[in-house]
Structure 1
Amino acid sequence: MFEKRQLTRLKPLLYFFIEYTVVFFLFAVTLKYTFPFVAGFLLALSVQPLIRVLKEHLHFKPGVAAAVSTLVVFCVVFGILFLIGYWLISEISHLLNHLTVGVGSVTGPINRMISTVGEYLSKIDSKYVQQNQEQIMNIAQSGAGVLKTVLGSILAFLTSLPAVITMFIVMILSTYFFSKDMTGIKTHVKSLFSRNAVFNIRSASHHGISLSGKYICSYLFIYFITFIETLIVFFALGVPYPLVLSIITGIADILPVLGPGTIYIPLALFYVIKGSFLRAGILLLCYFLITAIRQIIEPKIVSSSINIHPLTMLAAIYFSLVAQNFWLLIYFSVLLILYKILTNMEVLPTLFEEPETVVPAETESCGNSVKSE
């Protein structure tokens, strides 16, 4: 059915796909155990220039240079996280305290809704309740099960705080030891490969860092577009604190499935309760428009930044949305980046072989006649 030469040519690509899938699956399954060590290794790689400066110019010992670099990187990371968290908490609390909405305008519609529901409940026949007692009990048990799940999740989070603290301690220590022994680790890894293989790995890593940087920047640009669109919508509708809410919406765009809807939908419900149905409808309409625009521009921006066909990126985004699994988006994105790197280096064959350029017979005969002259 298929040409045998094409099957032979694509065999390395099939092996790469199988090996990558197995490695990624093992990585995703074991990440909760290996995360502090993976993060520590990446942080240790990032501080190598600082360690080099401390050892060469300030004549620090390797252990002292690694300790100082680890302290600096974690002070910077935790400092940035603390500042962002403090800024968000202060802005959100300021937003809640100074929101220019009268309490009566919100409690009034809620009270009317409660009284309406009470009138309907008073009209329910007692015989109907007795006949459908089993169904009502099942609904109540389902609600109790949901409440139990929520409370169990909260309890699990609270009891996991010591584990989170332990994870950060392990991350700090692993960063220190990886930073201290990074030269030896690189030497031992290089000794396993030939010079040509080491050169290919180094060039592939540089190319991969470049493509990954473009990939991250393209998504940051998409989140910025969402922030600008939301800022314009909130300003036009007169939503209080449009800048803060737009920033939060841009951050929420990272979340799968709902994305900006985590802000737009509660805000629309708030205006429905307030009685402003026009604003609520416009907010929902703008949310659907922003989501549609994102689905259109995301494959184009991401694919153009890493030179991959937009249809492949669209398929990756669609698969992750349908499965409601963020890991699928990471899986396909990394797969496409690695495929692009390895095909550019001619380590792997391309999926579709480029057609050979055929010289027309007339041109060839003209060339032969010119040579004869």
Structure 2
Amino acid sequence: MDVTSDIALFITKRVEDNESLLIHREKIIDTVNKNSEGMFRYAALVLEELEIYSPQKISERLRTMPKGISSMYELILRRLGANGNEEDLQMRKRILLWIAMAFSPIKVEEMQSACATIDGDKTFDLEDVILPTMQQIFTACGSLVEVFLDNKNYLRFTHRTVKEFLLQPKEKLSSDSRDDPYVASCLVDETIAHASMALTCVTQLFSKQADADDGNFSYLRRWWDFHAAKVPPGRHATPLSEQLWNLAKDFLWGDNMKYSKLDPLHLAAESRLVDILDWAHPPGVDFNVRGQEYFTLLMSAMLVLDHTHHNLLKLVEVVLKKDVDVNAKNVYGMTALIWLLDNACGDEESQVVQVIRLLCAKDDCELDHVDCDGRSALGIARYRQLSSSVQLLQKKGARVAMYKWKEEPWPQ
């Protein structure tokens, strides 16, 4: 059986299960099946629209029904907007944004808390607000959102094409929708979305309930800094950046910072929060502060060497400008240079080489230091066969190639 026949059966079953549509059976089946062009999702969306009551003639509704999935989503957003108020629109925008950009599935109770949050309000208290009900969430988003895993009530889009539609540039909308606030304002700009989610999460972290084992706050505790790290560095990089980083500063150095034992600067370094280290911190903070196992900020910044993680080079540049001791050692006698090479692998060597250049630009950078395990930077680079790093270190004047207290030869 081909796809067209399967879609025809699907349409027939839906129509026959709805007494309001049944009397128009043939007309609906023929028109929807013809216009679906092999797309189940399109047929489902049209039927969902037809199941919504309207006094308009069925022939007119079928004639004016948009062609294509994207146009159907525009119609749905336009209808939802016309039937709601400004509060519904703002809630819809936040729900769609969060589901589209979340790093893990969002629970209904987490979404309820996010919708009730006024970004930047440090007095936010879950006990002082009326949360939207689950039904209000679904009413705001219509057929775009559903629940899965009933025992946990996670939210997701009803189809992958919803996310594809929301992430498309505004220029791809129909001409009528580009200036329609009910449609265009619901599209998701990924950079601004991460800033928005981070701002909401940090606002919630000021709540007295944020430290409790509360399902309303589990997402923000795990992911707020991941969203913040996705925001491009710069006080004015997004319309929300300055507010976000000032709020994050107040949280990190405030009385609410209880869930992490890390010093705020080290947390910022590990999380790649460039702006916290660059300008969004209290005056007079000590950038030579040590973390666990006597780690320096440079080491914390290089805990994860991964080409998929942005901001590393910018982070190292910012820390080096803060008059830090580039040769400071951790409990294992490792300098930032040795730590960098010890955690490097071939896949990230191009990034490693750029960091080496930054470290070696400091006049007092110790190239030949040997750590407690008898390893030097050049020795580690040779042992790991990081050829570009070896060449750069030798060019900068490194001569000691120790590894485990033995001279490490260059592999033949």
Whether these two folds match at TM > 0.5 is no
* TM-score class normalised by the smaller sequence: under 0.3
The structure with the largest alpha-carbon Rg is: 1
Comparing both chains, which one has the higher relative contact order based on Cα–Cα distances under 8 Å and sequence gaps of 6 or more? Answer: 1
**What is the TM-score of this pair, normalised by structure 2?**
0.20
Indicate the structure with greater helix content.
1
Give the TM-score, by structure 1 length.
0.22
